[in-house]
Structure 1
């Protein structure tokens, strides 16, 4: 079986699990589809009775590894995921990752049962949000901009600006510069990513990363320099992105940490609504 055929089976399994459980799984498809050796995901899977029954993916972000997986309804409670986790854990040890995060939808009862068997602590949680035209109209989202679009400019990052992106990430998300640079090295092989620089008066003051597939765009790593916040730069950049993606016929999605109420308030005021909640547990074994 080819890699593409396996990926199609993983997609089918994801749809089956999401429909059955009423959840949204975060499988990082941009990493899954990356070419081998380009920093993409590593995954393990198993078949039962000719069907893809279980899957687990490992996603490296600098020295941290995120883990997410699933088991087909009707094949659970057979030890399938435990076996996949044991294989994945050996791979993580070989990679000498400094940190392991297990990601699970907050509403997944089957995930909750498995997570209780491991030495974990809750690290953080995120809301997944989707832009809603009616909510944007209710909140007059496009009428409350503080800065005009001709002052806040969005442009593609140049190839020589990887360090600038890493510096903005490091300051915005409280990570080390070394880890941020390493992450961008890994993202280099993912052509579906679009790195955007946000400028004010010709000076870079923020950035975001866009990823689009099947007419759905996700906004990741959206940050504005802390010294420049409170001036409407983030709102202007967000609204410009919404308008651009709407013209392309794309839905607009993003993620926000629960402990970031300022960002959550901005997104809600621009018309985003919460669709799912994802929990991240740190492995302490």
Structure 2
């Protein structure tokens, strides 16, 4: 696991990079803080200062990669060296898919992605809810998930998001260990038809994994549930945020209709491990 000093150093470097580049990095802090091993974290220090970091985040058979280099230390090969080390680890663990994550506005990241031959896959928007009046909703109930909901949660990931079952089970298992997180099941007429996860940290409430079974979509249920969740978190004093893929146009419009506005974007690229000679 990462030491307290390492976590603090990563946070300091992240703030410096974000300020210098006017962007937002996605480092999956809930995973960094709960690491049980340090084999997925790669750090470069010079004179006791962290100058480069790369993290590998395992989601079942898929690995996501994101990192950063101190602005004054770029173009010196630091990130390439970390990536080489990370590839050895990813190959050892047998990941079937590797996604490289970078802020959409980062020219430095795009240059690196082009160099390694990564192929653009999709863009994910971080959205922030703009405070406004929301009407009350009815026709459904929300309840906290129990162990008996695991299979339904996996089913929803598979059918609503197209996630491979293996990855879905690994993801749902990891979520259960998150602190300050509510996993809510959506119930209509005594039937569980969807789920939504709310993660709270430092005054922010983030909505993740919001989905409904395909046969119940298009009936206005999603908008009602979203209004209820947002309203509840707002009343608790939290600012409300979420993430959504650009290719999911329906979800994007749904969130915008409730008052969300896109503020940051992360590009995801597929990296083909088998084509690399490393």
Which category of TM-score, normalised to the shorter sequence, fits these structures?
over 0.9
Report the Cα offset of residue 35 of structure 1: 4.3
| Partners of 1:4 and 1:228 in 2: CA distance | 45
Q: Is 1:272 the counterpart of 2:260 in the alignment? A: yes
Q: 1:156 to 1:229 in 2, by over 3 A?
A: same
2:246 aligns with 258
SS in 2 for 1:116: helix
**Deviation per residue, 1:84-108 (Å, 9 max, x gap):** 1111111101110000000000101
Paired with 2:207 and 2:250, the residues of 1 have a C-alpha distance of: 17
Q: Which residue of 1 is the match for residue 146 of structure 2?
A: 158
**Distance in 2 (alpha carbons) for counterparts of 1:178 and 1:77:** 38
Post-superposition Cα deviations, 1:236-267, rounded to whole Å, max 9, x if no partner, equal 11111111111221111111111111111111
Deviation at 1:203, TM superposition (A): 1.3
Aligned position for 1:102: 100
- In structure 1, the partner of 2:40 is 42
Gaps of 5+ in 1: none
- Most deviating of 211-220 and 181-190: 181-190
Give the secondary structure class of the aligned counterpart of 1:74. helix
**8 A contact 2:43–2:54 mirrored in 1:** yes
The yes-or-no answer on 1:233 pairing with 2:221 is yes
Partner of 1:83: 81
List gaps (5 residues or longer) in structure 2. Answer: none
In 1, Cα distance between the equivalents of 2:218 and 2:73?
51
- Contact in 1 for aligned 2:62/2:98 (Cα 8 Å): yes
Q: State TM-score, norm by structure 1.
A: 0.91
Q: Distance in 2 between matches of 1:177 and 1:33?
A: 26
Change in CA separation of 1:41 and 1:14 when aligned onto 2, cut-off 3 Å: farther
For residue 172 of structure 2, give the secondary structure of its aligned residue in structure 1. helix
Quote the residue 1:124 is aligned against.
122
Question: How many Å separate the matches in 2 of 1:178 and 1:72?
Answer: 36
Q: How does 1:16-35 map to 2 (within 5 A)?
A: 16-35=16-35
| Residue 6 of structure 1: aligned partner | 6
Residue 223 and residue 44 in structure 1: after superposition, are their counterparts in 2 closer, same or farther (change >3 A)? Answer: same
Structure 1, residues 23-48: CA drift from partner, whole Å, max 9, x if none?
Answer: 111101111111416xx982111112
Say whether residues 1:248 and 2:246 are aligned partners. no
Pairing partner for 1:218 from 206, 213, 230: 206
Which deviations, in whole Å up to 9, do the C-alpha atoms of 1:170-218 show, x marking residues without a partner?
Answer: 1110123232112222333323432110111221111112211111111
The alpha-carbon distance between structure 1 residues 170 and 264, as it changes in their structure 2 partners (threshold 3 A), is same
> Any conservation in 2 of the 1:70–1:81 contact (CA below 8 Å)?
yes
Alignment RMSD, CA only? 1.8
1:209 to 161, 186, 197: 197
Aligned residues: 273
